[in-house]
Amino acid sequence: MGDFFRGRLGSFRAAFEGWWHVWRTQPNAWIHAVFSLAVIAVGIWVQLDEISWALIVLAMTLVWIAEFANTAVEAMVDLAGTDHHPLAKVAKDVSAAAVLIAALAAVAIGILVLGLPLWERVVGLISSN
């Protein structure tokens, strides 16, 4: 049983090392973090309901998963060789496109979920002045 728990601890350690690698090496991760924090702040400000929070968290998670997978694909392609092979470019470009698609979907979800409550909140602030 001890080996089982040591193995799981090792798995968590490896996952956190991967997480830390993305934070240290990927400038786009910082952009995702800034937008994630901004969306969370707006969601708190407009007092989203549980279903809306679930959609927002799902959208943000999709972007983060795509960014992490993109980083992994880039590392594997770089490991495979330093030659500029056309298929290496395809792998990196498609992986980056997955992040772009996830980010665009997250923006759309953010607009659909946050748009009206944010608009009402801002109009309420302007009207009260």
Question: What amino acid is encoded at 54 in this protein?
Answer: A
Q: What share of the chain is helix, strand, coil (3-state, %, to 5)?
A: 90, 0, 10
| Catalytic entry in 17, 50, 67, 74 | 67
82 three-state secondary structure: coil
Question: CB of 63 within 8 A of CB of 99?
Answer: yes
* Backbone phi and psi for residue 63, each to the nearest 5 degrees, phi listed first: -65, -45
Contacts of 27 (CB under 8 A, 6+ apart): none
Is 67 among the catalytic positions?
yes
98 vs 104: CA distance, rounded Å: 10
Catalytic machinery residues: 67
